[in-house]
C-alpha cells in the first residue's frame, strides 16, 4: 500500500533519526501488575483497535520512511487473536527494509507461540519477569502464573529465540531478590535489564513507595560482583555492564536517575493508531484517521511529519512527592512501554 511513499528519513527537530517503532497491538493483558494498572482495569472497546491489516499497512509506512526495527508490544501482545498472522506478514519484510522484528511479552502465552515466532523471523524477545518467587509473583501480578512464564521462556530458548529478562526494580518488593534473579538469568543464558518504575496511569499503589533508584542498586551489586561498562547496544535506552562472575550482561533503564533521551530513536503507536512521540509526553498524532482517509499515503506522510515536529527533547518524569498525580493519566499498557 505504501510502496510509493516518499523515502525521506524520519528526523526530528533535534536531529535524531528515528529507526525504531514500538507498535502496540492491544491494551489488554492477562496479568494485573501492581505498578502498571489497577485490578479492575477498563480496556478499550475492540472496535477502536486497528485491524491486523491496518497494523501491517502502518508498519509498511514506517519502513518506507527508514524504520528498520519494529517491536510488537501491548498490553500483552500474545493475547491478541491471530497475532501470529501479523508476525508472519511483518516477517516477510525482514531483508526488505526491516532489519529486526521482536516483541515484549509477559511470557504467559509464549510457549504456545514460540515456534511460530521463530518461523516468522523473530530472533529475540524481551520477557517481563520481576521475581522468581511464586507467592511474590502472584501478589505482584495478581495472578498465579509464574509456571507458565517460566515454561514460555524455556520454549523460546528451545525455539532458538534469544531471551532478555526485564525486571522493574521495586523498593521493598523485589530489591532483595535482584541479585538472585540476575544470577539465574545469566545461568540460563539470558541477558537481564533492570528498569526504574515509571509514573504512568493511576494505580492503587503509591508510586514513590515503589521507586528504587538504580544507581543505588548498581552500587550494591558492585560490592558483590565485578561490573565493567559495556558498549553493547540493542537500539533502546539501556546502558549495559558485563558481570565477570556470572559471565552475563546486565542493563539499566533509568528514566529518573540518568535521563537517556538525547539518543532517542523511537516512536510509539497505540493499538488505536495514536502516535506518541514520547512515552513521557502528552503529544500525540492520530494515525488511524490518516490510514482510513481517502488519501492514506499522503495523510500518513503528513501525520509522521507532524509527529517529528512535536517530538519533545526529553521527558519530565518526577518521583519526588508522595501522593502526586501520575506524570500522565494513560497507563503503560495503552502506550506499549
pLDDT at 204 over 50: yes
pLDDT at 207: 63
The answer as to whether 330 is a domain residue is: yes
The answer as to whether 125 is a domain residue is: yes
- List the grid coordinates of 174: 523485589
Check the CA dihedral 139-110-74-65 and report its sign.
positive
**Cα–Cα distance for residue pair 155/11, rounded to 1 Å:** 38
Q: Is 23 annotated as a binding residue?
A: no
Question: CA 163, 59, 167: angle at the middle one, nearest 5?
Answer: 25
Radius of gyration, CA atoms only, the chain: 19
Among 75, 64, 97, CA closest to 22: 75
**Which pLDDT band holds residue 52 (cuts at 50, 70, 90)?**
very high
The answer as to whether 85 is a domain residue is: yes
pLDDT at 238: 83
pLDDT tens-digit profile of 128-168? 999 999 999 999 999 999 999 999 999 999 999 999 999 99
pLDDT at 325: 46
User: DSSP labels for 99-137?
Assistant: -EEEEEE-STTHHHHHHHHHHHT--EEEEE---S-HHHH
What average pLDDT does the chain have?
88
The answer as to whether 235 is a domain residue is: yes
Mean pLDDT for the stretch of residues 285-309 = 95
**Which pLDDT band holds residue 317 (cuts at 50, 70, 90)?**
low
Q: Is 198 annotated as a binding residue?
A: yes
Q: Is 328 annotated as a binding residue?
A: no
**Cα–Cα distance for residue pair 45/303, rounded to 1 Å:** 24
Q: Is 223 annotated as a binding residue?
A: no
Please state the pTM of the whole predicted model: 0.87
| Domain of residue 76, CATH code | 3.20.20.70
The answer as to whether 82 is a domain residue is: yes
Q: Is 160 annotated as a binding residue?
A: no
Among 9, 22, 15, CA closest to 277: 22
**Which pLDDT band holds residue 227 (cuts at 50, 70, 90)?**
very high
Q: Is 201 annotated as a binding residue?
A: no
pLDDT tens-digit profile of 174-190? 999 999 999 999 999 99
Q: Is 224 annotated as a binding residue?
A: no
Q: Is 291 annotated as a binding residue?
A: no
User: DSSP labels for 1-17?
Assistant: --TTS-----B-TTSPB
* Number of separate domains in the chain: 1
The answer as to whether 208 is a domain residue is: yes
The answer as to whether 13 is a domain residue is: no
* Pairing status of strand 248-253 against strand 239-243: antiparallel
The answer as to whether 5 is a domain residue is: no
**Which pLDDT band holds residue 4 (cuts at 50, 70, 90)?**
very low
Domain membership of residue 34 as a residue range = 20-335
Amino acid at each position: 500500500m505504501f510502496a510509493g511513499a516518499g523515502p525521506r528519513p524520519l528526523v526530528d527537530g533535534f536531529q535524531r533519526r528515528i529507526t525504531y517503532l514500538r507498535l502496540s497491538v492491544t491494551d489488554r493483558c492477562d496479568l494485573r501488575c501492581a505498578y502498571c494498572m489497577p485490578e479492575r482495569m477498563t480496556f478499550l472497546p475492540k472496535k477502536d483497535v486497528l485491524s491486523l491489516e491496518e497494523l501491517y499497512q502502518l508498519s509498511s509506512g514506517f519502513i518506507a520512511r527508514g524504520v528498520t526495527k519494529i517491536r510488537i508490544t501491548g498490553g500483552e501482545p500474545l493475547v491478541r487473536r491471530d497475532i501470529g498472522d501479523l508476525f508472519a506478514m511483518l516477517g516477510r519484510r525482514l531483508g526488505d527494509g526491516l532489519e529486526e522484528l521482536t516483541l515484549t511479552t509477559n511470557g504467559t502465552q509464549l510457549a504456545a507461540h514460540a515456534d511460530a515466532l521463530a518461523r516468522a523471523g523473530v530472533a529475540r524477545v524481551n520477557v517481563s519477569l520481576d521475581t522468581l518467587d511464586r507467592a511474590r509473583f502472584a501478589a505482584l501480578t495478581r495472578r498465579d502464573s509464574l509456571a507458565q512464564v517460566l515454561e514460555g521462556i524455556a520454549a523460546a530458548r528451545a525455539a532458538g529465540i534469544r531471551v532478555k529478562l526485564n525486571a522493574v526494580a521495586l523498593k521493598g518488593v523485589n530489591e532483595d531478590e535482584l541479585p538472585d534473579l540476575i544470577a539465574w538469568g545469566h545461568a540460563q543464558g539470558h541477558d537481564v535489564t533492570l528498569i526504574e518504575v515509571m509514573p504512568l496511569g493511576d494505580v492503587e499503589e503509591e508510586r514513590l513507595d515503589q521507586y528504587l533508584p538504580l544507581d543505588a542498586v548498581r552500587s550494591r551489586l558492585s560490592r558483590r560482583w565485578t561490573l565493567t561498562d559495556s558498549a553493547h547496544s540493542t537500539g533502546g535506552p539501556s546502558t549495559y555492564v558485563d558481570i565477570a562472575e556470572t559471565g552475563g550482561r546486565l542493563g539499566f533503564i533509568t528514566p529518573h536517575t540518568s535521563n537517556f533521551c538525547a539518543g532517542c530513536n523511537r516512536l510509539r503507536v497505540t493499538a488505536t493508531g495514536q502516535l506518541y512521540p514520547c512515552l513521557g509526553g502528552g503529544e500525540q498524532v492520530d494515525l488511524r484517521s490518516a490510514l482510513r482517509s481517502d488519501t492514506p499515503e499522503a495523510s500518513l506522510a503528513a501525520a509522521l511529519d507532524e509527529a517529528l515536529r512535536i517530538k519533545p527533547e526529553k521527558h519530565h518524569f518526577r518521583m519526588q512527592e508522595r501522593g502526586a498525580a501520575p506524570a500522565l493519566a494513560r497507563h503503560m499498557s495503552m502506550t506499549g512501554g
